[in-house]
Amino acid sequence: MGGALAAPFDGSAWRRYADRFLQPDGRIVDSGNKGVSHSEGQGYGMLLAVAAGDRAAFDRLWGWTQRTLMVRGDGLAAWRWMPDGGVTDRNNASDGDMLIAWALLRAAESWGDGAYRSAATAIVRALAAAVLVEQAGLTVLLPGRDGFRKGEALVLNPSYWVFPAIRAFAALPDGQRWGRLAESGLVLLSKARFGGFQLPPDWLALDADGAVTVADGFKKQYGYDAVRVPLYLAWDGYRDPYYFRPYAMLAARYGGAAIPATVSLPGGTTTQVAASVGMLAVYRLASALAGAGNAVTVPPLAPDEDYYSTTLAHLSALAAQSLGIEP
């Protein structure tokens, strides 16, 4: 089944995104989540601003992030800010910190400003100290500094492995642990294949002996988090169909349309909620890399498309462009 292509990411797409989600003070609004702002959104906004060549917007985004979220005292960002309460959770979200640092590295390269690189390396050092840990012979990433050790097990989120960011961090001085993190991420993804589609869970547990299970205390599902796994693998240049077949199989099961947003694991029960446009863009990319062709139709973004779906659509376009394939 063919169909409409996802729109490429360009200056006009960025302007529409900024008009909808970027506030004048430099914060990105999560329109699907009570107008909250968070470190993830700031990182995504900064990456898109760099890709669009909009340095003024980038500086507003980075400025708000520094003033408002970098308040922990350890070099990492508080993950959640709410309009009616300010910072309401000071724990960090490791993927948000990674996205911010990677965006700063890309800004340093794009605009030749060493201050961005210095800021990025400081965040990378803080991340390594706070959330890179060893378990069962693997170097893994805690989702946040606090709250993810459950006895001898660690609770991990596969979608926090932002592979292209990890590659960039591994290239920095003393970046060897980041290289090991990437290798361990691939090991975890080979173990974390559950249900008939062999999908990773949004949240997994890694025991001291290396066993991987779907984590307790969270929804036992593949869904809104783990859909980013093939996106980040693609953006880092992985092309082996092995990494993308589970998502292509899920898409093919539903004929490339009305793909469910979540799948329970390991049971395989699907939700009646359909995948968003942004999720469909990820499935289209994964299907192409799995050798399934352009089997997913991606409709245009609706005028009221929410922040997360719109962001996934744009990131999928950037990943496709980096690979030289149609978005």
Is 95 considered catalytic here? yes
Are 45 and 22 in contact, with CB atoms under 8 Å apart? yes
d(CA 1, CA 280): 13
Collapsed DSSP state (helix, strand, coil) of residue 82: strand
**Catalytic residue selected from 30, 59, 89, 95:** 95
Are 5 and 327 in contact, with CB atoms under 8 Å apart? yes
> Cα angle vertex 33, ends 320, 244, to 5°?
30
d(CA 57, CA 11): 12
CA distances from 131 to 42, 141, 149, 212, 277 (A): 20, 6, 11, 19, 32
Give residue 172's identity as a one-letter amino acid code.
L
Q: How many residues does the chain have?
A: 327
Query: What's the token pair of residue 243?
Result: 């990494």
Task: Give the residue numbers annotated as catalytic, written as ranges.
Answer: 95
